Amino acid sequence: MSHYLVIVHKIEPGVAKDVAEGILEKTRKKTLGQLVTDLKSKEKVPAELLERLERFVEHRNWLAHRSRGESRKHLYQEKLHHVFFERVEWVADEALYLGRIFCEEIRRYMEKHGVSKEYIEKTAAGIMREWSEG
């Protein structure tokens, strides 16, 4: 999400790489809620995306901060485990979905600004190779 916010909404095409990296590094230090607030202030963010993000933040915050206390009976009564784990699964699935949406939005933005699909795919493959090799 930080990459989407910075690439699509915070920097202009052609900005120096070190400047862009500095903005990205600063943005990556923000909480999820702060990032969503930043996105709300941007004009061209699809309303559906903002709604999904707000719902995701609510559920993610529940998972990180309140799930143990609020779901005690679901955790300690075997027949109720599914209630807790279905909600956790929803958070995981939604995170993956939002990640794909952000990647697609970045791809569209890059192509709109003249970056070829081939270059994007080649660069992405290189990054994936670096990550997988450690």
Q: What is the pLDDT of residues 75-102, one digit of tens each?
A: 888 888 888 999 999 999 999 999 999 9
Instruction: Note the pTM of the prediction, 2 decimals.
Output: 0.83
Which class for 87: exposed (0-12), middle (13-18), buried (19 or more C-beta within 10 A)? middle
Residue 84, Cβ neighbours under 10 Å: how many?
20
Is 61 strand, coil or helix? helix
- Structure confidence at residue 128 (pLDDT): 86
Q: How far apart are CA 27 and CA 13, in angstroms?
A: 18
Tokens (6 digits) for 105:
């939005």
Residue 56, Cβ neighbours under 10 Å: how many?
19
pLDDT at 134 over 80: no
Place of tokens 């400047």: 19
Place of tokens 């929803």: 90
Q: Where are the domains of the chain?
A: 2-133
Nearest CA to 85 out of 74, 73, 96 is that of: 74
pLDDT at 117 over 80: yes
H or E element, residue 119:
helix 117-133
